[in-house]
Structures are given as structure tokens and as C-alpha cells.
């Protein structure tokens, strides 16, 4: 009877907590996104992804990645290439046809050596940990012959993403990462629909998170990110899948807020970077380049290409990461040649 009484008591506390949290919403450092069919992302059942692209919206196929519908199992004779990355590879700001993965596909098909399929699994704001998780849980199921991982400056952020908050990704250094009981449908179902569970979960994360439990801390840890790249390459090798790493650093020139060194920058722009952040990002990417230089496999660095064309590569003049149409075309030129050489060797 004691156990039953405890269960009943806990149930009553949960009901009371749910009512209180709905009538008097608690003031916490973040809020849960109200999901809509128009959102680019949705919460994922996989805690280590946190969120994923929403199927069937904004040019996403039924499997939840950008591009046309494709079969899970590769058709006979087809050379299948999977791109993995963040918003740079996704092609944020341009159409699917204008993004370099699709241009690469078009150019390889025009070369006519063999039938080619390019699958773009990139997701805006993903970091290296999420990209590896996606590779291990979904990408390799599509039987690619080649995985092209585009490692951008944002990939040195190693904090896992759990929420999309007011259109921004809510990042925190989660000390609960790897706690498998939370990586299940029950957890995410409760998290989506129970205000009381949301409150308890956030408080638990705040209590255990590093550096005061801020939900918006982004940690640039290039050595940690690089170990994730090594895991990805090793996983592909085990599956006998070719692996190509592409480095995408910040685009030049860098625009800073007014008073920080560039009088041409519009004051208050959200895309203008703080001077110290520029140093932090460059330092992290330089470390990745150093580590990549020691890798026993080939790495393509887009930095020289970016430096060659400068601002022409940019989506917008003060956007330091995303490529415009011209930028995607130039990257596609470079990658198509390299991938075609790999195809001939294979």
C-alpha cells in the first residue's frame, strides 16, 4: 500500500504542477518553441540531434532533408554522394537548385561517366556532434558511396542543441549528454506537451550545466570537434564508404560593429561580428586546419577560394558564413572536379 500511496501522491503532484505551470508560467531563461507547420525545423525524437529538418516544407522531401524524393536503397549502378553539414551546405538563402550540392550533381551528370545522385543532408545550425549523429543514424542508411562533410566555422561549437527558441537555436553545455534514459520518445513527448516536465527538465539542466548553467553559451572546442570528425571518418571506413572533408572558414572581408574598426559597417546589424568573436572563430578554425593537415586522408580547404573572390562569395555583404549564388557556383566548380576524380579512381 505504501508504494501505491507514493505513486498516487506523485501523480497528484504532477497534476498540480501541470496546472500551476499553465496558469502561472514560470520565468526561465528560455521558452519552448510553439511548433508550426511553417517552421523549418521540428523537435527530434533523438535527443542528440535535438531538432531536425521538417519533412515536406521549404523544399524538404518526405525523409526530412533538402531535395527531391529518393529511395532509401541505392538503385543498381548509381553513384550516390551524401553531403553533410550546416546552413552553408544546406544553401541557406538560395534555392536547392542554386546550392553547391545540387550544382555538383548537375555537373557530374553532365560529365556522363555514370548515373549520379547527390543527397543533401545538411541542416542549418547543426554542429559537428549533431552532424556525426545524423551520419550514424540516417545518412549511411542511404548507402552512399561517398560522404562529403563540409566543416564550417560553426562546427567548432560543441554544445548540443536542444530547442529552437524564437527562431534562434538554444545552446548549452549539457552535462546530461549521454544519459540514455532521456534519449527516447517518452522524454520528448513529455517535453513537448507538459509544461511541468519542461520546467523540471530545464531546472535540472540549469543545475548541472557548466559556467552558471546558461542556455545560450556556445563553446568553441576545435579539438573536441575534430575528434568527432575522426569518428565520422572511421565510421565511413568501417562501412567501406569514401570520405571527403571540406573546410569552410569565415568569408572575407569581416565587418565589425561601428567603433570596432570598420566604418563601412551598418551599426547594430545582427550579422556584424564582435572583434573578439572574430579572433575566437579564426583561432578555432586555424586549429582545425592544423589537425586536418595531419590527417592521413585528403582535405579540401575552401579558404584560398574564398580569399580569391572576397565579398563576391557572400550571400550578403555583412554575412560572414553563407554563400550567395556566385559563391555556390565557385565552390561547386572546385568540388565537382575533386569528386569526379574520386569517381574515376573508384
What pTM was computed for the model? 0.79
Lowest average pLDDT, out of 90-99, 136-145, 262-271, goes to 262-271
The C-alpha cell at 328 is 555556390
The Cα–Cα gap between 84 and 106 comes to 18
State whether residue 25 is helix, strand or coil: coil
- What number is the average pLDDT over the span 67-87? 94
Per DSSP, the residues of 251-279 read -SS----TTSS-TTSPTT-TTSPPHHHHH
Calculate the alpha carbon distances from 176 to 14, 56, 209, 253 in Å. Answer: 22, 32, 8, 39
Q: Is residue 264 part of a domain?
A: yes
CATH of the domain at 141: 3.40.50.1110
Q: Is residue 335 part of a domain?
A: yes
pLDDT digits (tens, 9 = 90+) for 2-21: 777 777 788 888 888 888 88
The residue among 134 and 8 whose pLDDT is bigger is 134
User: Among 107-116, 179-188, 305-314, which range has the highest average pLDDT?
Assistant: 305-314
Question: What pLDDT is stored for residue 274 in this prediction?
Answer: 78
Range of the domain at 248: 76-156+221-345
* pLDDT-based confidence at residue 323 (cuts at 50, 70, 90): very high
Are the CB atoms for 123 and 135 separated by under 8 Å? no
* pLDDT-based confidence at residue 294 (cuts at 50, 70, 90): very high
The Cα–Cα gap between 199 and 206 comes to 11
Other residues' Cβ atoms within 10 Å of the Cβ of residue 309: 14
Question: What pLDDT is stored for residue 41 in this prediction?
Answer: 77
Lowest average pLDDT, out of 30-44, 225-239, 297-311, goes to 30-44
Q: Is residue 306 part of a domain?
A: yes
Question: What pLDDT is stored for residue 197 in this prediction?
Answer: 83
Q: Is residue 144 part of a domain?
A: yes
The C-alpha cell at 259 is 567603433
Domain tally for the chain?
A: 1
Q: Is residue 174 part of a domain?
A: no
The C-alpha cell at 209 is 550545466
59 Ramachandran zone, left/alpha/beta (phi>0; psi -120 to 50)? left
pLDDT digits (tens, 9 = 90+) for 201-248: 767 655 554 443 344 445 688 988 999 999 999 999 999 999 999 999
Q: Is residue 173 part of a domain?
A: no
Q: Is residue 48 part of a domain?
A: no
Q: Is residue 27 part of a domain?
A: no
Amino acid at each position: 500500500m505504501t508504494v501505491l500511496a507514493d505513486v498516487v501522491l506523485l501523480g497528484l503532484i504532477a497534476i498540480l504542477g501541470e496546472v500551476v505551470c499553465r496558469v502561472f508560467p514560470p520565468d526561465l531563461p528560455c521558452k519552448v518553441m510553439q511548433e508550426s507547420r511553417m517552421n523549418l525545423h521540428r523537435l527530434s525524437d533523438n535527443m542528440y540531434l535535438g531538432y531536425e529538418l521538417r519533412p515536406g516544407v521549404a523544399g524538404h522531401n518526405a525523409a526530412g532533408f533538402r531535395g527531391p524524393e529518393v529511395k532509401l536503397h541505392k538503385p543498381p549502378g548509381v553513384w550516390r554522394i551524401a553531403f553533410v553539414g550546416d546552413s552553408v551546405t544546406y544553401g541557406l538563402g538560395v534555392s536547392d537548385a542554386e546550392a553547391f550540392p545540387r550544382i555538383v550533381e548537375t555537373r557530374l551528370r553532365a560529365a556522363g561517366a555514370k548515373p549520379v545522385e547527390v543527397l543533401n543532408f545538411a541542416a542549418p545550425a547543426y554542429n559537428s556532434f549533431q552532424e556525426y549523429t545524423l551520419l550514424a543514424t540516417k545518412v549511411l542508411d542511404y548507402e552512399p558511396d561517398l560522404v562529403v562533410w563540409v566543416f564550417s566555422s560553426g562546427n567548432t561549437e560543441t554544445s548540443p542543441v536542444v530547442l529552437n527558441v524564437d527562431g534562434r537555436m538554444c545552446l548549452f553545455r549539457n552535462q546530461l549528454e549521454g544519459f540514455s534514459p532521456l534519449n527516447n520518445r517518452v522524454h520528448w513527448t513529455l517535453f513537448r506537451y507538459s509544461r511541468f516536465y519542461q520546467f523540471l527538465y530545464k531546472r535540472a539542466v540549469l543545475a548541472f550545466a557548466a559556467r552558471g548553467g546558461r542556455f545560450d553559451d556556445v563553446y568553441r572546442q576545435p579539438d573536441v570537434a575534430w575528434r568527432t570528425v575522426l569518428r565520422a571518418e572511421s565510421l565511413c571506413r568501417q562501412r567501406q564508404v569514401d570520405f571527403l572533408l571540406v573546410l569552410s572558414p569565415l568569408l572575407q572581408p569581416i565587418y565589425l560593429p561601428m567603433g570596432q574598426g570598420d566604418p563601412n559597417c551598418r551599426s547594430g546589424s545582427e550579422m556584424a561580428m564582435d572583434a573578439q568573436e572574430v579572433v575566437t572563430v579564426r583561432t578555432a578554425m586555424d586549429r582545425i586546419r592544423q589537425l586536418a593537415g595531419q590527417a592521413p586522408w585528403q582535405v579540401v580547404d575552401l579558404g584560398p577560394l574564398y580569399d580569391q573572390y572576397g565579398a563576391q562569395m557572400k550571400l550578403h555583404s555583412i554575412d560572414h558564413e553563407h554563400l550567395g549564388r556566385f559563391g555556390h557556383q565557385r565552390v561547386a566548380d572546385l568540388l565537382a572536379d575533386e569528386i569526379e576524380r574520386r569517381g574515376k579512381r573508384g
